[in-house]
Every structure is written in C-alpha cells, then in structure tokens.
C-alpha cells in the first residue's frame, strides 16, 4: 500500500536514575558511598533508506518511543544506556513539526542519518555527593526526561521526469512501455490512484527515473480530484513532461493551458522547471486531419515546425524541437513537442534519448549559474 503521509508523536528515552549504595567489602572499614550513575536515554534518529518507497510502516501508529536508560548500580557501575530509536524513511521525506508546520528535516540523500531527539541524561549516583560534611549521602539524582515532539512525515517522490496530464490520456501506458514500472491500465479516468516510479533505460549505460501521478483536472490546485494530493510528488522532479491526448474530447490547446495553469497555481517554482510536451494516442485520433491539428497546436503555443533533429523522430507528423546547435536552451519554451503512440511504439525510443538530453540541459544550467 502506498502511504505518503503520517502523523504521530515521538519521544526519546528517559535517563535512568542514579543509585544510592555503599561499599561493603571484607577488611574494608567504612567503604563509603559507591552508587553509580543512571544510563542515558535512547536517542531518536531518522535514516534514509532506498529500499523503501512508502511510509506504510507508520500507518495507524500514533506513538514511537526510544528505550529508557537503566538505573545505576553499586560499585560505581553506570546503568545501561537505552536503545536508540531509528525511524527509517524513503528518500524525499520531509519531517514537519505538526504544531508549527516548520520543516525540521528534508531528507533526500540515501544513507543520510540525522539525530532528531536526544535522550535524557542519566542521574548521578550518591558517590558524587560525598564531601567532608556529609560522608554518607543517601540521595541520588533521577534521570532527566526525554524530549517529545508531534511530527508529520510527508513523502515527495524524487524523479527526473514527472508526467503531467488529464486522467486517461495515456500516462500509465507510456510509463509501462518505456520503463520497468507496471501500473494498472484501463480505459476509464483515474485508473492511477497512487504515484508510480519507473526507470527508463537510455542506451546501454544511461537511465533516468520517470514518475506518473494521478490525472490533473480543472481546479486540481484548489483540491479538486486527486491532483492537489499528488501534485506534491512532482515538486522534486527535475523536468516535467506534459502528456496531451489528441483523441480526447478536449482540444489539445485547452488541455495544455489548463495543465500549465494548475501547475503554476500549485507552485510558482515548479512552473519554472524545464519541460517538454508529448502528443499521445495518435493511433486513436478520430478527427479529420491530425497533421493539421498538430501544426495548429504548435503554432498556438508560439512555436514553429522543426525540419530536422538529432534524435531521428519517426513518422510523417509535424514536431518541434529546440535547435541547440545555433542557440542556447530556452527554458521558457518546451524542449520538444512530439507526437507519440504507446500502442504502436511510435517515437518512444527517440523520446527516451530526447528526455535524457533535456535532463542534461538542467545540469548545464546549474553549472552556468
């Protein structure tokens, strides 16, 4: 089960109390106090593990606690420290204070381990309170209490390319035929109810991660449909791929404008990401002239038909791609507008190479900045 949020309280361990004891040994007269200190309470850590991709371990749990430290013993022996509590989370997890909404940690690096709450210090035994006036102290310190926080975990998947489109426009089919993902596919809207990740192989040595989220509808940024709940999963994607359905009852330009608007309303930062457009389901087109409709769409978004490209786009349909030989990449425009068919596999292999090249443009921008 895919769980992308959890809310619970977590407490570090209480320190063990000190010990009031006196040395009793043969041939030793008035051995004096020798009570040991209490053990330290267990700490609470977060560990980022790539072997998990959900927060399902925390479903239904309301409280987590590290072990308490043990009481000190005679003979100046310190009590055993409490076992640490390690909360394992997938990459992309945010730890948020549930009372103030402050982001405490943003955990994205695999293997990262951070200390969240420190356990209470153990109390001192009576050996520490001996002095010239009181050589037989019978008191000791209690251990200090652990720390408690109410937190919320939110998972935002980390991917290179995030698919954005209306419901039932072919996103699930696209990720299933281009990657190792196996999403549910059916001919009705909202087939995808949870985000899916897939690794797309490009050639023999390169690959990138693609994310599919539930379809976005008008008003998704305001909570309609499933869009608002899962739009957060493309916040971390490096690039966006808008999937426009040429066989949809909505026009291509209407789909594109609504999707761009919803993404922009949800996050101005997300709207600035590099992006590209695919025109899906060209095998299911039922209009009069597909070539003319594609040409008009490309012109409607202020672009011109391209004549050549380095990725060997297939078919006789119009397309657009930025010419990076004579000009720099312009992230205010889509890198390409490409007709595809997941059914006939038209342009799917060139699509992988083009998307990988788009990811490289993002790296170049960071270097230049």
| Most distant CA atoms of the chain, gap in Å | 109
The reply, when asked if residue 213 is annotated as ligand binding, is yes
**Residue 90 annotated in ligand binding:** no
Q: Is 279 annotated as a binding residue?
A: no
Asked whether residue 166 is marked as a ligand-binding residue, the answer is yes
* 215 known ligand binder: yes
Q: Is 281 annotated as a binding residue?
A: yes
8 marked ligand binding residue:
no
**Ligand-binding site membership of 172 (annotated):** yes
Beta-strand relationship, 320-321 and 161-164? unpaired
Check whether 54 is labelled as a binding-site residue. Answer: no
Sign, CA dihedral 157-158-159-164, equals positive
214 among annotated binding-site residues: yes
The reply to whether 343 sits in an annotated binding site is yes
Are 37 and 79 within 8 A, CB to CB? yes
- State yes or no: 278 annotated in a binding site: no
Tell me whether residue 68 is annotated as binding. no
Output the six-digit token pair for 219.
Answer: 């008003």
Residues 6+ apart with CB under 8 A from 340: 174, 278, 279, 280, 282, 346, 347, 348, 351
Cβ atoms of 166 and 259 within 8 Å: the answer is yes
200 marked as part of a ligand binding site: no
Q: Is 190 annotated as a binding residue?
A: yes
96: annotated binding-site residue? no
**167 marked among binding-site residues:** yes
Is residue 18 classed as helix, strand or coil in its secondary structure?
A: coil
193 is an annotated ligand-binding site residue: yes
**Any binding-site annotation on 65?**
no
User: Which H helix or E strand runs over 148?
Assistant: strand 148-155
Residues of each annotated binding site: 165-172, 190-194, 212-215, 280-283, 341-343
Residues of each annotated binding site for Mg(2+): 172, 192
Residues of each annotated binding site for GTP: 165-172, 190-194, 212-215, 280-283, 341-343
């Amino acid at each position: 089960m895919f769980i992308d949020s959890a809310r619970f309280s977590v407490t570090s361990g209480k320190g063990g109390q000190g010990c009031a004891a006196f040395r009793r040994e043969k041939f030793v007269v008035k051995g004096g106090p020798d009570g040991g200190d209490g053990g330290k309470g267990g700490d609470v850590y977060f560990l980022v593990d790539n072997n998990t991709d959900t927060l399902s371990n925390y479903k239904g749990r309301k409280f987590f606690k590290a072990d308490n430290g043990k009481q000190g013993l005679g003979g100046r022996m310190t009590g055993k420290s409490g076992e640490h509590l390690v909360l394992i989370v997938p990459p992309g997890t945010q730890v948020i204070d549930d009372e103030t909404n402050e982001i405490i940690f943003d955990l994205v690096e695999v293997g990262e381990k951070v200390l969240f709450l420190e356990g209470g210090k153990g109390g001192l035994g009576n050996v520490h309170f001996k002095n010239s006036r009181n050589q037989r102290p019978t008191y000791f310190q209690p251990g200090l209490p652990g720390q408690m926080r109410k937190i919320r975990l939110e998972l935002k998947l980390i991917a290179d390319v995030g698919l954005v489109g209306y419901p039932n426009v072919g996103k699930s089919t696209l990720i299933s035929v281009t990657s190792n993902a196996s999403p549910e596919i059916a001919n009705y809207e909202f087939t995808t109810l949870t985000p899916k990740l897939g690794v797309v192989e490009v050639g023999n040595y390169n690959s990138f991660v693609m994310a599919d989220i539930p379809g976005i509808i008008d008003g998704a940024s305001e909570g309609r449909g499933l869009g608002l709940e899962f739009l957060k999963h493309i916040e971390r994607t490096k690039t966006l791929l808008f999937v426009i359905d040429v066989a949809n009852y909505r026009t291509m330009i209407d789909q594109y404008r609504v999707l761009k608007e919803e993404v922009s309303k949800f996050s101005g930062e997300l709207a600035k990401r590099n992006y590209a457009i695919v025109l899906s389901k060209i095998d299911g087109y039922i209009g009069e002239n597909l070539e003319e409709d594609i040409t008009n769409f490309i012109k409607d978004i202020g672009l011109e038909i391209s004549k050549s490209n380095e990725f060997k786009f297939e078919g006789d349909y119009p397309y657009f791609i930025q010419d990076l030989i004579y000009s720099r990449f312009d992230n205010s425009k889509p890198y390409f507008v490409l007709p595809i068919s997941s059914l006939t596999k038209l342009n799917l292999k060139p699509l992988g190479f083009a998307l990988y090249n788009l990811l490289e443009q993002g790296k170049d921008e960071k270097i230049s900045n």
